[in-house]
Amino acid sequence: MGNSDGKVVFITGAAGGLGTALAHNFAEEGFHLFLSDKNEVRLREVMDELAGKGCVVAGEPMDLADASAAREIGERAFRAYGRIDVLINNAGVSQGKSFWDLTEKDWDLVLDVNVKALFFVLQATAKHMLQRGGSIVNIASVAGRLPRPTLMHYAASKAAVISITQSAALALAGNNIRVNAVAPGMMDTEMLQTLRSDFQKASAGSAAGQPDVSIVPLGRIARPQEIASAVLYLASDASAYVTGQTLNVCGGISMN
């Protein structure tokens, strides 16, 4: 997808299922990588695996629940290579709870990472794209487009990601910085297994909002690599005239 050799991609949440797939996809395209995740052990495993394949990779662990940490990791990513061409805002948390059981602490947990940290990473990184332009891809979710009775705070956070994507695209278009989002549906990762477990605890026998493959028109859940391919498209020059968009990659669960 164009000449990516020597370009730098900064990926948050790089130790999870999707984050790992993203790192491998961008490495295969010739990008230099800066990876971050709060799971230091798993992050190091991913980095060592990529380095063993000859990839150029750097990174640091960081818990983005704190806004100052979100800003700091953007600065560290820039210092590692002296440039950032692509940001993939992938770090996120999910939690299933019933409407009646949601607490202020639950809301803070999800919004601090999925919304505030995403914005401050974006802000800190975009500053270093002002001269040469760049591409930013935020990871949203079809939950941000559809009602989710046992994921209300998570769904609200992903709706915010879609809104931030559109607003940032307008704010940064004059600097040739494109901002888009990908909205995955169900994906074969540990997060999906956690959500299924949470659903069983929160649903009290109701099927509403259940994360089940029966709701997917294509009849299966996604592989992380399939989501990563869509992200790579939006990050690359192949989508040079695309900004402010949210691409559903969900097997047809949402079609708007």
Structure tokens at 191: 């997060």
Tell me the average pLDDT across 127-149.
Answer: 95
pLDDT, greater one: 189 or 38: 38
pLDDT at position 212 is: 77
Structure tokens at 111: 């919004």
> Would you say residue 211 has pLDDT above 80?
no
**Which residue in the block uniquely carries the two structure tokens 């790089």?**
14
Instruction: Give the pLDDT band of residue 136 (cuts 50, 70, 90).
Output: very high
Coil, strand or helix at 120: helix
Q: With CA atoms as reference, report the closest residue to 83 among 134, 121, 30, 120.
A: 134
Q: With CA atoms as reference, report the closest residue to 32 among 69, 84, 75.
A: 84
Tell me the average pLDDT across 71-87.
Answer: 98
Q: Helices 152-172 and 118-126 sit at what angle, rounded to 10 degrees?
A: 20
Structure tokens at 249: 């990659």
- Catalytic positions are 154
**Domain extents in the chain:** 8-248
pLDDT at position 133 is: 98
Beta carbons of 140 and 164 less than 8 angstroms apart:
no
pLDDT at position 48 is: 98
Residue 154: alpha-carbon gap to chain centroid? 13
Instruction: Give the pLDDT band of residue 207 (cuts 50, 70, 90).
Output: very low
Q: Is 149 exposed, middle or buried, given 0-12, 13-18 or 19+ CB atoms closer than 10 A?
A: middle
Q: Whole-prediction pTM value? A: 0.92
Read out DSSP for 175-236?
GTEEEEEEEE-SBSSHHHHHHHHHHHHHSTT--TT---GGG-TTSSPBPHHHHHHHHHHHHS
Beta carbons of 248 and 181 less than 8 angstroms apart:
no
Instruction: Give the pLDDT band of residue 256 (cuts 50, 70, 90).
Output: confident
Instruction: Give the pLDDT band of residue 191 (cuts 50, 70, 90).
Output: low
> Would you say residue 209 has pLDDT above 70?
no
CATH level 2 (architecture), domain 8-248: 3-Layer(aba) Sandwich (3.40)
| Strand pairing category for 32-37 and 8-12 | parallel
What dihedral angle (degrees, nearest 10) is formed by the CA atoms of 115, 118, 123, 128?
Answer: -170
> Would you say residue 206 has pLDDT above 90?
no
Instruction: Give the pLDDT band of residue 4 (cuts 50, 70, 90).
Output: confident
> Would you say residue 23 has pLDDT above 80?
yes
Phi, psi of 227 (to 5 degrees): -70, -40
Instruction: Give the pLDDT band of residue 195 (cuts 50, 70, 90).
Output: low
Computed over every residue of the chain, the mean pLDDT equals 92
Percent of the chain with pLDDT over 70: 90
Q: With CA atoms as reference, report the closest residue to 14 among 112, 92, 71, 72.
A: 92
State the DSSP code for 113: I
| Strand pairing category for 86-89 and 8-12 | parallel
Q: Which long-range contacts (CB under 8 A, 24 or more apart) does 166-171 make?
A: 166/244, 168/122, 168/126, 168/136, 169/243, 169/244, 170/244
Find the helix or strand (DSSP H, E) in which 174 lies. Answer: none
